[in-house]
Structure 1
Amino acid sequence: MGSPLVLVDVDGVLNPFRKPHRQFRRHRVMPEGRLLRVLLDVRHGRMLLDLAAETGAELVWATYWQDEANEWIGPRIGLPELPFVPLPPFPGIEEGRSFGAWKARHVAAWTGGRPFVWFEDEPDAAASLAAEPGVGDHLLVGVDPVTGLTAEHIEEAAAWLSGR
């Protein structure tokens, strides 16, 4: 079945909606030629690498940034190039499904039944993920998009991965 996965979203998780403390630095990035400003905390890279090393998990981007995260986010927080969940263009709200539900469908399919932890800020992703057929054992760690990823989120993920 393979090692467990640690799926990482960018916006709202690594890039919170506002600067929660002074460790975050503003960066100007240009994915697909569009100028964006992101807030990143370089300590997140080490936290995620340590989590993966200590639990035998594989880090994966699960973000609309997809491979662009390898160019614009990863190097700024000390992450190597990571695989990513491919996401097709978001069609908009379909049949009452939100962005979180739409994304959960693609995450569930991509993980192929492997166990995973997912750091995600979309509030309805957890329920949507659990309803997907064939989804493996998983923990969705809900991250407040105002504060972003914290040490407590990493500890929750480590405890779940270690207890499997």
Structure 2
Amino acid sequence: MTGSVRRSLLFLDVDGPLIPFGAVSQPYPPYVTGPELPGAHANPLLTRINPEHGPRLAALPCEVVWATTWMADANECIAPRIGLPQLAVVVWPDPSDIDDHDERNGLHWKTRALVEWAAGRPFAWVDDDVTDTDRAWVAAHHPGQALLHGVDPRHGLTDSDYAALDSWLRQLV
């Protein structure tokens, strides 16, 4: 059988991992990437995105997918700022379709949708809201390998986060 092997997925949240927020002792450094980029004036938080994230994400052995409430806006406002191409985007279920029972039990509202989107493929999920409840649910309901990687939203993705993701993803190649 000829054909390409489907790469592992990396589901990427924006707020927290790419745009740090929260209490810090000093202001976040602004990254100026050009006044002509989309969203430059619409959202001042975009200046917190380190442009080095683009090459670092592109170097990971996986298919990066936006898993954020930014949805398609991530391709318009964020991808160009960090040098990424247009990426696939997870379309979230309508809020009325989300099981309230899950949230009461601590399951993140994204978890079921990501497992469904992955359709058995190995995936890493990078988010600042990942919990042990999500890890347990994914382990019980996803037939492939999965890494649910929590990021400290005060700092966003760091060298150690990239090292952990790269190491885990390379074990799957």
* Alignment TM class, shorter chain as reference: 0.7 to 0.9
Larger radius of gyration: 2
Instruction: Decide which of 88, 94, 97 is 2:103's aligned counterpart.
Output: 97
Instruction: Decide which of 50, 57, 70 is 1:48's aligned counterpart.
Output: 57
TM normalised by structure 2 equals 0.77
Paired residue type of 1:41: N
Inter-partner Cα distance in structure 2 for 1:74 and 1:122: 22
1:50 Cα offset (Å): 1.1
Match of 2:7 in 1: 3
Q: How does 1:15-164 map to 2 (within 5 A)?
A: 15-17=19-21, 22=29, 24-25=31-32, 29=39, 35-38=42-45, 39-51=48-60, 55=61, 57-91=62-96, 94-95=100-101, 97=103, 101-124=108-131, 126-132=132-138, 133-164=141-172
Where does structure 2 lack aligned partners over 5 or more consecutive residues?
none
1:100 Cα offset (Å): 6.1
Q: What number of residue pairs does the alignment pair up? A: 156
1:120 Cα offset (Å): 0.8
Assess if the C-alpha contact under 8 Å between 2:12 and 2:67 holds in 1.
yes
Where does structure 1 lack aligned partners over 5 or more consecutive residues?
none
Which structure is higher in strand share? 1
The farther-off stretch of 3-12 and 88-97 is 88-97
Inter-partner Cα distance in structure 2 for 1:113 and 1:139: 13
Assess if the C-alpha contact under 8 Å between 1:105 and 1:129 holds in 2.
no
CA-atom RMSD, angstroms? 2.9
